[in-house]
Structure 1
């Protein structure tokens, strides 16, 4: 059995802006934005179109990830807010969550600069395909439930809190595979694959998947392969991922936004019958041993191998809840304390209903957490880190 957790494929430098409704409202007024033009699907070519997109997401209470034409748009917008520089990418944030429990990991990076060197925890080693330092920050916006933005022709009110990601990141679009990855995989207990969603060149994607195939040939036969879906900039590219990786994937994870994209309709996340129908529809499209969907109300796995991951799913929900209430600065004791909190009653009802309707499915309801300062950034990434806790060969909790 392998002794390392290898997490990839690309890390990011994130500019996390502190939500300020007054600043957003002032920008909407300055740009003359009206309610009728709000959309999440228009190209983001300047700061005005960025604000239009943000307001459209806020109006729906939704989360998502979108491409911007230039990193300058990200930098200009972030300068209007109090901004914290952090590290992102599913693998990196999952590794940070594991680090809080004293669990080391090996990261696969495609870009690096002094921010990465300064902020990467000491427990996290890395292999990198970067040949020089670069900085193409990702804008991270998290907005609270009930935030009000007045427009010239009305107002919008967010029905829930959520997070948004905006980026133009050439290294992650290229997703070069480090030559050292194959060697790192020789001793892997688990491999996390994520990040292909940002690629936009289909021929290049095919090359990278072929290179990853070659590296994965060196995985131990009992290593777990976890693939985390994300908002593809070019949705049909998901099919290229499936063609290469489905035979290797043990667990295929996604959030509620991606679930609804695949079924091409809204899903009532608190209606067990609607949830079960959506899970079965996506699993027929992506026939993996375990399809795992994580949402703000519950996490549920379906598929022939779902049952063996019940403890991992419980740890994943616990990790995401800990980050939700405390951000990155939690300890192993905080993680354990989360387990003592009560679960969502409505989430329990959905889990119970789905487990009855889909034989072999396993689910865990979300925790009930009341906080005026929730962290909505990186919850899915922390969820993945929590899932991998049970696959870590050595665990040395921090005090």
Structure 2
């Protein structure tokens, strides 16, 4: 009798434990990532329904066809061995240079984009990549990637790109080209070497998934679509103008006056726009200090918003504070570091503005989180929901699926973060059920949303463009 009573007690104890485990699992409380996913989806759904009149977005410049391939199989196929010493290059002109710069960024897991001066060499790389079964071909370029995302989010889009009729087939049907697509247009090609977290190459191991992009552009380099775009913007009357893709002119191989004239044309366009038209500048990988200074001094004083990743943020802050441009930054900076850099960048850029525009929005996207800073009472609304939308877009794009699979994601952001590196700064705990943290500082609102990092990567090239466009579209 005593034995049966003991068994019944144990049975009831085990049954209670099973019920509790099931309850917590169903409610996501045993998995922080699932709770964060539920919270982000809930925040995304709070975005208001779009007006019956579509928002108009004009975006330039350039386009290309992307060849996505895997970095390690490619170098194996080409017989390119890991170098003894990683080395940075502004411009590539040999297999040795490719090996050195790939190792340089690979061991940091940092994104980069570089120009190949030897066109024949570049063609040999693209020919090899085309023969690999693992390679994929997509429409590329910052402007087309952002344009497609704006269209997906319900905007009417004018795109400043010259492209072939074949490439134009990859555009959303609501996108209008400023320059008509033609069958004889030769599309520039970008070769994207992707790798995952933990991949090894000789003695090197990547701390995170990322990509190295190489190109040997001409059309994008010369900004051939610029004049047509300027002419079309006048009649299109956009709510938002986006400037992107200028990194193609980094380490410009031709007469520097050509590049300066192009920058001046863009500047004059921005100055000519009515104040009712918002202007966003999307940063990219630029390492030539002279060119970066030109962008900061000539273009950024005339914009309302700037978007960037952690590398680009570090470059801009280094420049405006009188330090050197950083070839590679911390691939996963602390929230406090990024927020301090954003405050510094905002302060420095506001000093450069002459009153015609006032910078009122910064968006920084990193592997672990989204950070959006907007001026109080500005036209940028719904920052909390926009941060959630950007975080969800990061997973959806990289994983290649609209539906987010809880089994293919992980949290990188800690359970709490400091709002600044300054002594005594407030520390904010991440609420898993309501994961976007927002607060006010002086005249600005800040929001930080954790990312659900994709663990089964389909693509990383173009992720930043999609993330940034999704975020800003939510705030129009």
TM-score band (shorter)? 0.7 to 0.9
Correspondence for 1:258: 312
Correspondence for 1:175: 223
Correspondence for 1:190: 240
Q: CA deviation at 1:195?
A: 1.7
Q: CA deviation at 1:297?
A: 1.3
CA contact (8 A) 2:310 2:338 kept: no
Find the residue that maps to 1:141 and give its secondary structure: strand
Correspondence for 1:119: 170
The equivalent position to 2:337 in structure 1, one of 245, 268, 274, is: 274
Distance 1:32 1:84 in 2: 24
CA contact (8 A) 2:60 2:244 kept: yes
Q: Which moved more, 1:43-52 or 1:177-186?
A: 177-186
Correspondence for 1:397: none
Structure 1 residue 290 corresponds to structure 2 residue 361: yes
CA-to-partner distance for each residue in 1:24-62, whole Å, 9 max, x for gaps? 2464xx4554322x2132641023322332222212211
Structure 1 residue 373 corresponds to structure 2 residue 457: yes
Structure 1 residue 136 corresponds to structure 2 residue 173: no
- Gap change, CA 1:305 and 1:53, over 3 Å in 2: farther
CA contact (8 A) 1:202 1:237 kept: no
Structure 1 residue 96 corresponds to structure 2 residue 148: yes
| Aligned residues between the structures | 375
Distance 1:34 1:344 in 2: 31
Correspondence for 2:49: none
CA contact (8 A) 1:321 1:366 kept: no
CA contact (8 A) 2:311 2:331 kept: no
Find the residue that maps to 1:138 and give its secondary structure: strand
The equivalent position to 1:13 in structure 2, one of 39, 59, 65, is: 65
Structural mapping, 1:325-340, within 5 Å: 325-326=399-400, 330=402, 334=403
Correspondence for 1:227: 281
Distance 2:273 2:440 in 1: 36
- Gap change, CA 1:117 and 1:146, over 3 Å in 2: same
Where does structure 1 lack aligned partners over 5 or more consecutive residues?
Answer: 393-399
Q: CA deviation at 1:105?
A: 1.3
Distance 2:281 2:90 in 1: 28
Distance 1:2 1:102 in 2: 7
Distance 1:142 1:97 in 2: 22
With normalisation by structure 2, the TM-score equals: 0.69
RMSD: 3.3
CA contact (8 A) 1:323 1:382 kept: yes
Correspondence for 2:387: 313
Q: Which moved more, 1:53-62 or 1:198-207?
A: 198-207
Q: CA deviation at 1:127?
A: 0.5
The equivalent position to 2:302 in structure 1, one of 248, 261, 284, is: 248
CA contact (8 A) 1:317 1:364 kept: no
Distance 2:154 2:104 in 1: 40
- Deviating 4+ runs (over 4 angstroms): 129-132, 264-270, 341-345, 350-359
Structure 1 residue 349 corresponds to structure 2 residue 404: no
CA contact (8 A) 1:317 1:386 kept: no
- Gap change, CA 1:42 and 1:107, over 3 Å in 2: closer
CA contact (8 A) 2:395 2:454 kept: no
CA-to-partner distance for each residue in 1:56-104, whole Å, 9 max, x for gaps? 2212211111111134433322324332221122221112223334543
CA contact (8 A) 1:312 1:386 kept: yes
